[in-house]
Amino acid sequence: MNGDLPPTFVQGFHDEEAVRKMKYTPLGDTGLIVSQIGIGGAGFTNLYGKYNEDEVIATIHTALKSGINYIDTAPFYGNGSSEEILGKALKTVPREAYYIATKVARYVVTNPDKSVGVKFDYTAKSTLESVDQSLKLLGMNAVDIIQIHDIGFSENLDIVLNECLPTLEEVVKKGKARFIGVTDYSLSTLKECIQRSKVKISSILNYARFTLTDDALSEYLEFFKKRNVGVINGAVHQMGMLTNFGPQPWHPAHEKTKQICKQAGDYCKTHGVELGQLALYHALTKQPGPAVHLIGLNNRNILKFNLDIVHNSLSDKHLEILKDINQKFLSKVEHRNWEGVEKEALRKGTALKY
């Protein structure tokens, strides 16, 4: 850190005042100093409704200039559209101004009814092809972190440990990535992978498990910290469920949980409060916490809402509403996670349709 400025600060590009307001934390032992919130690339796709590409690019630029320096994307996000949009947006951004991570192993398929489904491929051949395609779309020679997307969907971890991870080790040796990470919804699966891997894993990405309705990630933070593994928290807003807008139709959570969260969102609306801000505040203030929290951003209004929490915390009114929704609604949630739901659907051939 240069004073209060991170290594990614670029004079003439960044808004220095905004950067100084951002909190930065080391990501494990990678040497990467990451911003408190990061850009989640799934927001640049139809997974979360319609978006305008020009507005997305403007949002990316504004986010980076404001001091956000971590970007996460994947081939699965929009069948490559997230990576492609980022490639366009980042052409005019100094490469030293950000860290970027992408993934391998989870991909889009088109179902017979024309809906979008998912497939998983952890083989060496697919992994190498995926890395090269991602770099092409991003317009880069290398990413900072290359991650295996949702390792828990493998039949067992053997192919991840014995084929995919060693292949990514070769990718790093070739200079196409700096570090290796793994991602999954299941915390026990991430823990097992770290315990068994002979390949150095520098980061884990877990999603929707450090939120207002599910704090399970808290129980595993010490395990990852002791092993110098950087922790990335995705889906602070539980993939839209903890916002006033609510979740997409494909959301895998239990219907009763979605109904309760909708009641909380409706309560927030009637009081002129955005539930998403309360959810982000919870994630940022709960300590100890992950190094970076990923936020889905596809317009500057959403960015502004989130930066407001980073810079200014919550008003007394917002804190009172947060207390209310916890007591009136969220404390009644029984099904706090959906672990195994997507994998079981895939096994039965009834995988979620996006």
pLDDT one-digit tens code per residue, 40-66: 999 888 888 889 999 999 999 999 999
Q: What pLDDT band is residue 317 in, cutting at 50, 70 and 90?
A: very high
Question: Is residue 180 assigned to a domain?
Answer: yes
What are 292's strand-pairing partners? 232
Question: Is residue 296 assigned to a domain?
Answer: yes
Give the mean model confidence (pLDDT) for residues 72-88.
Answer: 96
pLDDT: is 276 or 45 the higher one? 276
Question: Is residue 325 assigned to a domain?
Answer: yes
Q: Reply yes or no on whether the pLDDT at 303 is more than 80.
A: yes
- How confident is the prediction for the chain on average, in pLDDT? 95
| Secondary structure class of 14 (helix, strand, coil) | coil
Question: Is residue 275 assigned to a domain?
Answer: yes
One-letter amino acid of 231: V
Q: What is the pLDDT of residue 3?
A: 60
Helices of type H across the chain: 16-21, 53-65, 81-90, 124-138, 158-159, 165-173, 187-196, 221-226, 255-270, 275-285, 300-312, 316-328, 341-348
pLDDT tens column, 153-199: 998 999 999 999 999 999 999 999 999 999 999 999 999 999 999 99
Contact 147, 122 (CB under 8 A): no
Residues involved in catalysis: 77
| Secondary structure class of 114 (helix, strand, coil) | coil
Q: Reply yes or no on whether the pLDDT at 354 is more than 70.
A: no
Question: Is residue 353 assigned to a domain?
Answer: no
Query: What's the Cα-to-Cα distance from 185 to each of 102, 231, 232, 318, rounded to whole Å?
Result: 17, 13, 12, 29
What are 89's strand-pairing partners? none
Q: Which domain holds residue 190?
A: 16-348
Q: Reply yes or no on whether the pLDDT at 2 is more than 60.
A: no
Question: Is residue 232 assigned to a domain?
Answer: yes
pLDDT tens column, 215-228: 999 999 999 999 99
Contact 207, 295 (CB under 8 A): no
Q: What is the pLDDT of residue 153?
A: 95
Q: Reply yes or no on whether the pLDDT at 351 is more than 70.
A: no
Question: Is residue 354 assigned to a domain?
Answer: no
What are 296's strand-pairing partners? 40
Contact 229, 28 (CB under 8 A): yes
Question: Is residue 136 assigned to a domain?
Answer: yes
The pTM for the full model equals 0.95
Contact 69, 79 (CB under 8 A): no
pLDDT tens column, 237-266: 999 999 999 998 889 999 999 999 999 999
> Which single residue is written with the structure tokens 């992408």?
102
Q: What is the pLDDT of residue 353?
A: 59
> Residue 61 belongs to a domain with what CATH number?
3.20.20.100
Greatest alpha-carbon span in the chain: 56
pLDDT tens column, 117-136: 889 999 999 999 999 999 99
One-letter amino acid of 271: H
The domain tally of the chain equals: 1
Q: What is the pLDDT of residue 352?
A: 60
> Which single residue is written with the structure tokens 């895998």?
252
pLDDT tens column, 86-121: 999 999 999 999 999 999 999 998 878 877 788 999
